[in-house]
Structure formats: C-alpha cells, structure tokens
C-alpha cells in the first residue's frame, strides 16, 4: 500500500486512508462481518465498494475539517482494521476513539498498541486535550482495552446507543492529556 504511514512498531503501522484501498477494506469486512458487526452497527450500511469509497471520502472530509481522523491499521503491508477519532469538538479539544479489528488479528495487542499510538498523536500532534472511548457494557475485550490504555471509567449510561435495533447500555471512558503525559513520565 502506497500511503502515508505512521510506524507504531516493527510490524504495526497506521496508514492514511486512500480510496484505492476500498476494495481491500471491503473484502476484509466481508470476510469477518459477523465479528465486526457484533458491536458496530454502521457496518451494515457498507455492502459495496462504492459504499466503502463513500465512507472513506466522508472521513477524508472530516480530516480536512478537523472533526475526524481515520487510519487503517496495517500489520506488515496488509490492512487488519481501522481506528479513528470522531465526534471531535475542536474548541475544547475533545474526541471519541473508535476501532475495529479483523478477528484473525485479535489477542496480539494490536488494538492496545493502536489506541496508545493514537492517543500519542492526538495529544502531541492534533492538539487534543480529552479522549473518550464509549463501549457496550457487554463488550468485555474493548472494556479491558480502555482500562489497559489508561482510560478511566467515568460513567455507565443506560440505553445510550442503538445496536441492531436495540438500545444498549454503554460504558464511557475518559483520558486527559495530563493523565497520558503522566503515565509516560513515570
């Protein structure tokens, strides 16, 4: 993949999204749709290469506006998932992290490393002050990731999100820039 990349470690990197990757990204989603859609409802709207291109374009417009930062997660040169900061409020430097990873790449620390790397970019390069991760209460792996990455559970919101037509309770985790910096200084 010829794209701007941000190296996380010897094998893991972020790639800036490109329309040319739409087919590869859709194939990845299709090969693991039931796993990915377990806690992400919006994937149901992505069925064609054009849908995927529209999604990438929307994220690129958000990047230009400073309201959205999407990266493909690369293991070697292959896309294995995505991570983003969305719902960005530039006035107060706040945004929400979201991610998904193909099931064949889970339990390797990829998302934990990716979240930490994205926090580093957000706080040091994007001028952010506060990051949130909102997780379905039943999504045990993502709850553990938020905790492992230094986020603090600030609330559990009843009926806070719609997933497959049902209202779901969500855990809200927060990380401030000063907490992130302190964690790296210790």
Domains, the chain, with CATH or none: 5-185 (3.40.630.30)
Distance CA 39, CA 178 (A): 30
Lowest mean pLDDT among 22-31, 32-41, 67-76: 32-41
Gyration radius from the chain CA atoms: 16
Distance CA 16, CA 26 (A): 16
Distance CA 114, CA 148 (A): 12
Tokens representing 39 are 């806690």
pLDDT attached to residue 38: 84
pLDDT attached to residue 186: 44
pLDDT attached to residue 43: 67
pLDDT attached to residue 82: 96
Average pLDDT over residues 27-50: 85
User: Which of 64, 57, 78 has its CA nearest to residue 13?
Assistant: 78
pLDDT tens string 108-120:
999 999 999 999 9
Strands 12-15 and 69-75: antiparallel
């Amino acid at each position: 993949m010829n794209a701007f990349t941000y190296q996380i470690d010897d094998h893991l990197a972020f790639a800036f999204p490109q329309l040319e990757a739409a087919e590869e990204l859709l194939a990845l989603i299709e090969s693991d749709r039931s796993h990915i859609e377990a806690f992400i409802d919006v994937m149901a709207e992505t069925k064609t290469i054009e849908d995927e291109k529209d999604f990438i374009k929307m994220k690129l417009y958000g990047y230009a506006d400073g309201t959205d930062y999407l990266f493909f997660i690369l293991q070697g040169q292959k896309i294995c998932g995505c991570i983003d900061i969305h719902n960005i409020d530039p006035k107060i430097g706040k945004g929400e992290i979201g991610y998904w990873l193909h099931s064949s790449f889970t339990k390797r620390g990829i998302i934990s490393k990716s979240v930490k790397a994205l926090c580093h970019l957000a706080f040091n390069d994007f001028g952010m002050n506060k990051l949130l991760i909102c997780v379905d209460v039943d999504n045990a792996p993502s709850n553990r990731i938020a905790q492992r990455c230094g986020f603090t559970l600030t609330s559990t919101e009843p009926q806070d999100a719609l997933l497959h037509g049902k209202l779901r309770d969500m855990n809200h985790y927060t990380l401030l820039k000063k907490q992130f910096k302190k964690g790296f200084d210790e």
